[in-house]
């Protein structure tokens, strides 16, 4: 089946530092998505990418859809304590399924104030 390899598994950073995480896949996806999950909550969509090579920003977040359509990265600039949580990448629209999302295992981000 499809698998997404997300790295790193966890990060411990100081407030104000920049963060980068990425996902790679053995399959091509039509859409890449990045979610954040706070404790006890469901994931919330941060950024959606729809086109190979697309670079999209949302405040301090920047994400890119890889040219090969098999990878994506997420950058967070000038981290703050509320950035703490689990970040998931997800690919959508592969293998004939336009609706099924395949998720990475997540990156646990801890920000020390």
Partner 1 sequence: GAGVSQSPSNKVTEKGKDVELRCDPISGHTALYWYRQSLGQGLEFLIYFQGNSAPDKSGLPSDRFSAERTGGSVSTLTIQRTQQEDSAVYLCASTHLGGKLFFGSGTQLSVL
List residues near partner 1 by CB under 8 A: 4, 6, 40-45, 48, 88, 90, 97-106
Select 99 or 113, whichever has its Cβ closest to partner 1.
99
What minimum distance in Å lies between the beta carbon of 83 and partner 1? 19
Round to whole Å and give the CA distance between 99 and 88.
17
What minimum distance in Å lies between the beta carbon of 97 and partner 1? 8
Return the SS3 of 81. Answer: helix
* Letter string b/e over residues 30-49, b meaning 16 or more CB atoms within 10 A of that residue's CB: ebbbbbbeeeeeebeebbbb
Select 56 or 77, whichever has its Cβ closest to partner 1.
56
Select 43 or 66, whichever has its Cβ closest to partner 1.
43
What minimum distance in Å lies between the beta carbon of 13 and partner 1? 20
What minimum distance in Å lies between the beta carbon of 100 and partner 1? 6
Select 85 or 106, whichever has its Cβ closest to partner 1.
106
Q: DSSP character for 1?
A: -
């Amino acid at each position: 089946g499809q698998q997404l390899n997300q790295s790193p598994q966890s990060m411990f950073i100081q407030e104000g530092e920049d963060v980068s995480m990425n996902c790679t896949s053995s399959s091509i996806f039509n859409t890449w998505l990045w979610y954040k999950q706070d404790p006890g909550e469901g994931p919330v969509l941060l950024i959606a990418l729809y086109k190979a090579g697309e670079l999209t920003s949302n405040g301090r977040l920047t994400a890119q859809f890889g040219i090969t359509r098999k990878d994506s990265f997420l950058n967070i600039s000038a981290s703050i304590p509320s950035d703490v949580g689990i970040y998931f990448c997800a690919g959508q629209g592969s293998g004939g399924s336009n609706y099924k999302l395949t998720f990475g295992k997540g990156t646990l981000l801890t920000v020390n104030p």
